[in-house]
Amino acid sequence: MLRKSPFFIVVLLLSLILAACGGTQPAAEPTDAPEEAQPAEATEEEPAEPTEEEPAGDQPYAGTTVTIFGAYTEQAEVEAFEQGFVPFEEETGIDVVYEGASDFEVLIATRTEGGNPPDIAGFPQPGLMKRFADQAVDLSTVFEDGYLQQQYNQSWIDMATMPDGRIIGIWNRAIVKSLVWYSPAQFAEAGYEIPTTWEELVALSDQMVADGKVPWYAPMESGNATGWVGTDWIEDIMLRTTSVENYDNWTVPAAPEDRLLFASPEVKQAWEYIGSILLNEDYVYGGILSTLQDRFFDTGKPLLTGEAMMAKQGSYMPGWLLEDFPELTVGPNGDLNYFYFPPIDATYGSPVLTGGDVYSMYNDRPEVREVLKFLTTAQSIEPSIKAGTFIAPHTDVNMDWYDEANRGIAEILANADTVRFDGSDLMPGEVGTGTFWSGMVDYINGEDLDPILEEIDASWPAQ
């Protein structure tokens, strides 16, 4: 009896526990069951049928949660993004949860490949998104024909389309990278003019040095991603010194034999251009050492104090300062303003380098579709636009949301002769997040250019 009893107690205990758990189960089931059942049918049996014509009033998805996983963690940025969902959440009752990680490109790999993907993931790099194309839902089956074409210019859709025709992403926030930031007050005080050509930019830099000022600040330290600040420079200069075809063959060659090597004269020249600025100790605030060691999100600070005069950064730059300077204003009369990074060779017009977030869907549930559809509308980023840091890639954007400052950025984008996406985000990971970044760090450290470029070429995956 004694030896038998513990076992029966255990069985009793277990059944009690199960009974206790069973009590909570019915409550969970009703929301559970339709979620599980519907998407499978919706995608496999009637792919062409749009499912977005739900009656808006009665909130069929109230109480459901949709998770979005993304790469941005800056508090002000996250708040603006989450705020964009408030009206949507009130209208539909869907709880949208954003989760950001600075190690996004690593974590998204573990999550998708481990079978635990977020409902929606926001990629800053379309190249990375395409790596997980097999797990992503084909969005051409989610939206009715023509809907995406109505919301976006074709070039945005093309960037999220796989060679086999599947559309695996939609664009949400866009940024313009071809900007140089400065303090209008500092410029006015010294009587500097905005340069419109490369020669003028260099002349202005020399003038600043002669005036005892430091023209540039380009801090690059970004943890595991250190180097991207410099690669943005290279891409912008590439667009200004060589043809778009060359740029495309450099970033995403149509065939392996078309690839424009890093060691080619065109690319090497772009590195030499950036070297003429960033390797010049007189030109850069804190010298090469600060370029290598200072955190990138401090870029704007010396501009405000006049310790440095100019910084080439994307349209998101003021957002980094909001935590320390919540009252910061951007514009011709604000604390900071920007000018278009001037063209170098008139033959190539006025090109613009862009970036942006592209969202993939991994779990096909009706409420996830609703959230994704909302992301295809400019309304979803209204607060981000009004915060002055982002541009809408959507066609239905209300121009009144832009203030004077970022309307100018939107105009730069609209007036561009060529628009190209950040090249390192398009290249294979080995290069785009590997040797291109580390090669940039080596170059700024003063190493010979040729071996660096050869090493980058060697790391380009063969297949």
Partner 1 sequence: MQQQLQQPEKGSFLSWFTTGVGRVIVALIVPIITFAILWQSFVFMRDTEAPKLLIALVALVVGVVGVWALYIGTNFFIEQLPGRVRDALRPYLFVGPAMVILGVFLIYPAIGTIYLSFFDARSESFIGVQNYAFAFVDSAMLIALRNNLLWIILVTGFTVSVGLLVAVLVDRLSQWEEAAAKSLIFMPMAISAVGASVIWSFMYFAKPITQPQIGTLNAIITGFGGEPVLFLLDKAINNFALIAIQIWLLTGFCMVILSSAVKGVPDELLEAARIDGANEFQVFFRILVPSIMPTILTVSTTVFIIVLKTFDIVYVMTNGRRDTEVVANRMFNELFRFGNSGHASALAVVLLLAVLPIIYWNLRSLREQRS
Residues forming contacts to partner 1 in the complex (CB under 8 A) are 1, 3-4, 6-7, 10-11, 13-15, 17-18, 21, 24-25, 28, 31-32, 105-106, 109-110, 131, 223-224, 226-227, 286-287, 289-290, 292-293, 428-430, 433-435, 437-438, 441-442, 445, 455, 458-459, 461, 463
Residue 96 forms beta bridges with which residues?
66
Total count of residues recorded for the chain: 463
Question: Which CB, 63 or 332, lies closer to partner 1?
Answer: 63
Measured distance CA(112)–CA(84) in Å, rounded: 26
Long-range contacts, stretch 432-438, CB < 8 angstroms, 24+ apart? 432/125, 432/127, 433/105, 433/125, 433/128, 433/225, 434/459, 435/459, 436/227, 436/231, 437/225, 437/226, 437/227, 437/228, 437/230, 437/231, 438/227
Q: Which is nearer to partner 1, 6 or 212 (CB)?
A: 6
Q: 358 vs 204, 216, 449, CA distance in Å?
A: 37, 31, 34
DSSP state of 433: I
Residue-by-residue DSSP string for 166-188:
-B--EEEEEEE--EEEE-HHHHH
Q: What is the closest distance, in whole angstroms, from the C-beta atom of residue 187 to partner 1 in the complex?
A: 24
Cβ closest to partner 1, residue 17 vs residue 97: 17
User: Which of residues 11 and 86 has its CB atom nearest to partner 1 in the complex?
Assistant: 11
Closest distance to partner 1 from the beta carbon of 109 (Å) = 5
The least CB distance from residue 40 to partner 1, in Å, is 15
Which residue, 32 or 46, is less far from partner 1 as judged by CB?
Answer: 32
Token pair 């189960």 is found at: 25
Shortest Å, Cβ 390 to partner 1 = 26
- Give me the sheet containing 337-340, strands edge to edge: 310-312, 179-182, 337-340
Residue whose CB is less far from partner 1, 146 or 461: 461
Considering beta carbons, is residue 25 or 153 the nearer one to partner 1? 25
Residue 229 C-beta: closest distance to partner 1, Å: 14
Tokens 């239905």, residue located: 396
Amino acid, res. 446:
G
| Closest to 364 (Cα-Cα) out of 145, 108, 168, 104 | 168
User: Where are the extended beta strands (E) located within 319-365?
Assistant: 337-340, 351-361
User: Considering beta carbons, is residue 109 or 449 the nearer one to partner 1?
Assistant: 109
For residue 459, what are the contacts with CB-CB under 8 A and spacing of at least 6?
430, 431, 434, 435
Closest contact distance (angstroms) between CB of 30 and partner 1 is 10
Cβ nearer to partner 1, comparing 224 with 333: 224
The residue assigned the tokens 């170059």 is: 443
Q: Closest approach of Cβ 29 to partner 1, in Å?
A: 8
Least distance from C-beta 108 to partner 1, angstroms? 9
- Give kind and range of the element (H or E) at residue 189: helix 184-190
Least distance CB 24 / partner 1 (angstroms): 5
Token duo for residue 257:
């034999």
Q: How far apart (Å, rounded) are the C-alpha atoms in residues 443 and 229?
A: 13
Distance CA 378, CA 131 (A): 27
